[in-house]
Structure 1
Amino acid sequence: MVALPKHYCDKHADQEHEYVPRDMHRYNTVTRKRNENKRAQYNFYRTKQWVNIRQRVLDEQHYLCQYCKCDGIVKQGKIVDHIVPIEASPNDKADISNLAVICSSCHTLKTKWEQQTYGTGKGNQLKQVSPIRSIAMINKLMKNK
């Protein structure tokens, strides 16, 4: 018998760490790797270089959402996000000045804003626009202020 929320019985418990839900497997193998550019981006996030850069940004920005901070709100963030998305500025993917800590709610807003502004995301066509590097400006635009 399997005791939920586990996926394996006691006899096979050592295999628990290998369990990947079907939806996550599809997301990682189909959506994230849908073309060569996305595959390269996904692979970058799995490098030691990214792990080190990400931790440096989290430490330097004290795990605080830089977008909420623009509104005078102190909120924890655990995501390190590219200010200008990699699709729009591939050479800046490891540039620490292009990275900011962001909370999940701001990340959702920013992702939608990036899709409209830069044409990023699945099925979208990348637009030739000047990148916006100011967190304060992006914050205003993504929250329609």
Structure 2
Amino acid sequence: MPRTRRCHYPNCHEMVTFPDHYCQQHHEHEAEYLASRQRWTRSHDKHYTHKYNTVTRYRNDTKRQQYNFYRTRQWSHLRQQVLERDHYLCAYCKVQGVITPAKTVDHIIPIEFDETLKANVVNLAVICGSCHRAKTDWEQLYYGTGQGNELQSVTPINDVSAIVVLMNKE
């Protein structure tokens, strides 16, 4: 069945098949309508495209470099390796005796705290959404990561079971 719409002529309720805009009775207005749409598009084209992709996600250089790492081929290979190693199951839930499927790979010690561990497979674990939110909140308190926080000089914890215990305390 062909797609239809109403005639664009004021107070005309006749149905028209696509791509036409006017019925047979008002068909003489079609060329004028299409010309006005082309004029409008030409005059407003720059207005719409000049703002495209101008939002900067991270304004400082260290955050930008951290974010760009997640767009590299190295990260995609590391991520896939860890997902297959952990069988797509949340490591933090597994410590608590719960089996939760997950697809997010997380740095056990955040790269904001120690950037040398960003490509280390031992520092990566699969994490589900709820554990990730809880761990992010814990990292902000313990390590001082996150926007507006100041990094603390604490000993890094790389044991998932110890992190789960600390996450559940708060």
Normalized against structure 2, the TM-score is what?
A: 0.67
Q: Which has the larger radius of gyration?
A: 2
Give the secondary structure class of the aligned counterpart of 1:80: strand
Q: Which residue of structure 1 lines up, in the alignment, with residue 76 of structure 2?
A: 51
Residues 67-109 of structure 1: per-residue CA shift (max 9 Å, x gap): 0000110001111000000011100000000000000000000
Higher relative contact order (CA closer than 8 Å, sequence separation 6+): 1
Give runs of ≥4 in structure 1 deviating > 3 Å.
none
Query: Per the alignment, do residues 25 and 84 of structure 1 end up closer, same or farther by CA in structure 2, a change over 3 Å counting?
Result: farther
Q: Which residue of structure 2 lines up, in the alignment, with residue 68 of structure 1?
A: 93
Q: Which residue of structure 1 lines up, in the alignment, with residue 110 of structure 2?
A: 85
Q: Which residue of structure 1 lines up, in the alignment, with residue 61 of structure 2?
A: 36
Q: Which residue of structure 2 lines up, in the alignment, with residue 132 of structure 1?
A: 157
Measured on the aligned residues, the alpha-carbon RMSD in Å equals: 1.7
Give the drift of 1:143.
Answer: 1.1
1:97 aligns to 2:98 (yes or no)? no
Q: Which residue of structure 2 lines up, in the alignment, with residue 114 of structure 1?
A: 139
Give the secondary structure class of the aligned counterpart of 1:143: helix
Give the drift of 1:35.
Answer: 1.3
Percent of residue pairs bearing the same amino acid type:
53
The count of corresponding residues between Structure 1 and Structure 2 is 119
Partner letter of residue 113 of structure 1? W
Distance in structure 2 (CA, Å) of the matches to 1:133 and 1:77 = 20
**Unmatched tracts of structure 1, length 5 or more:** 1-21
Distance in structure 1 (CA, Å) of the matches to 2:77 and 2:127 = 17
